[in-house]
Copies of this chain bind each other. A is one copy, B any other.
Amino acid sequence: MTATVNRTDVTGQMIIAGKPVRGSGPTIHGINPAAGERLEPGFAHGTEPDVEAACAAADEAFAPYRATSSEDRARFLEAIADNIEALGDTLVARACAESGLPQGRITGEVGRTSGQLRLFAGVLRDGGWNGARIDPAQPDRSPLPRADIRQRKIPLGPVAVFGASNFPLAFSVAGGDTASALAAGCPVVVKAHDAHPGTSELVGRAIADAVASTGMPAGTFSLLYGAGPELGTALVKDSRIKAVGFTGSRSGGTALVAAAAGRPEPIPVYAEMSSINPVFLLESALATRGADLGRAFVASLTLGSGQFCTNPGLVIAVDGPGLAAFVSAANAAVAETVPTPMLTPVIAGSYADGVAALEGVATVEARGAESDAPNSCRAALFSSDADTFLGSDVLQQEVFGASSLVVKCRDAEQVRAVAARLEGQLTATVHADEEDLDEAGHLLSVLELKAGRILFDGWPTGVEVGHAMVHGGPYPATSDSRTTSVGSLAIERFLRPVAYQDVPPSLLPTAVADGNPEQLWRRIDGRLTQD
């Protein structure tokens, strides 16, 4: 492939097992949302034969790919990271054009993406992901001897990944889903998001080149273009696909969950879908720094045109002078915001519709400046009393973009009542002073059951990539609260345990072999040891 396509060219082709393939479906184009301009070249959507070819290649690659060592897979992930970084300005310029996001944000996202790949290289070298356990034989146990039983985790099989629109790099072709699935030993078939097809091709080729240069099986990675309802569903329904990673809308995620559940062999779907990320402002914090909080809140709200899964779409506090100061400062900050482009015309249209729906049921506190620029996001802040909020479905729905709602409560008890009524969330935020800690403790025990991440005295829009991060949460934030899509724990989504009973030493996987050749931390009779 490297012989025929230059690494920095955008050709409009898919990549199936290393080979460039032009689709035979309808042609779509990237759109520069800031300019409202169509970008070249066109990308022809793939069709079912392309799904078939990619899945067949992934299936064929699975056995040799999962047999590679942790070290070999770590080097493969590092080669992907190197290739992505080597794309330099070409990649940044294309991603900026296709997303309307500013250069600084995209440059940061390149680093986040390569950083994630390197994080999983480290996870592979650490080896804890094997979950190695050994219960040694007890031949003299009475009344029955105990067999030798060992456990390790193995990859589920080929994984389908659906790129997200709002992070064209970090949650897309080489994002966290792909990085964690490849680390686990699963081949990956990506369905690119139509919002950034050129970015997807560049990153896809960076992966395919790393497959080739590190000697991985060609079918370890494929990249397809296509419509979600047709090509995406065909991909999820293919019997060779064994798990799905998705970041996107609630309707898109639930459709994939239904498709996966309806298969003859149902498979897990990790869909990160919908969250309004409540922020609780407690009394003393509001009294001492209400206006500062209001300004900082708007900075988080409007970051990236509010197009974050963790955008703070709900603020909950006891009504009073502190909250008034917060709202007043927030209103002033919102009024000063300059419209910024949204990712796609569809997203901009949905945002405008969502804000219009809120205008009918909540008080408009402030709007950002108007603009004639296409696809722009005009920030919006609403307010409502808690009784209205609790009785309204519309007010509890996510509006993707820089829109938020302040819910004014009678007292701390009503704040807790609102917390208890929330759906599942990716995050919940609490601003609390020393005097608020008792109340914060009550709230924390409720919020633990509602969110994957709870943060104090900050804003939810930054999602650190590390070992302790949870980017997940109860339904409908995700379709599976037992996991995270960001951070090293994400590898566990694509693994399952296997037990080996009295398996001859020469056939035992090295992770559970005698003498611990990989020097792993293992549980021997339940106790962690590196022996």
A residues with a Cβ closer than 8 A to B are 63, 67, 122-123, 126, 128, 131, 133-135, 144, 146-147, 149-151, 154, 156-157, 257, 261, 265-266, 268, 424, 432, 437, 440-441, 444-445, 448-449, 451-458, 462, 464, 466-470, 472, 474-476, 479-484, 488-489, 495-504, 506-507, 521, 523, 525-528
Contact = CB atoms under 8 A, between A and B. Distances in A.
Given A472-B497, A498-B451, A503 B444 contact: yes
Nearest to A268: B482
Contacts of A476: 265
A424 B466 CA distance: 34
A432 B506 CA distance: 13
A497 B526 contact: no
A526 B122 contact: yes
B448 A154 contact: yes
B468 A496 contact: no
A76 to B, nearest CB: 20
30 contacts: A63-B445, A128-B523, A133-B489, A134-B468, A135-B467, A135-B468, A135-B469, A146-B464, A147-B455, A149-B468, A149-B469, A151-B489, A157-B449, A266-B479, A444-B507, A451-B498, A452-B498, A453-B500, A454-B499, A454-B500, A455-B500, A455-B501, A455-B502, A456-B501, A456-B503, A468-B499, A474-B496, A482-B495, A483-B496, A488-B526
B479 A497 contact: no
B468 A432 contact: no
A180 B261 CA distance: 26
Contacts of A495: 482
A144 B464 CA distance: 10
B151 A469 contact: yes
A498 B454 contact: yes
Contacts of A150: 468
A464 B149 contact: yes
A247 to B, nearest CB: 18
Copies of this protein chain in the complex: 2
Contacts of A479: 266
Contact of A437 (B154, B452, B497, B506): B506
Contacts of A466: 135, 146, 149, 525-526
B122 A475 contact: no
A119 B73 CA distance: 36
Contacts of A441: 506-507
A467 B266 contact: no
Contacts of A455: 147, 500-503
A509 to B, nearest CB: 9
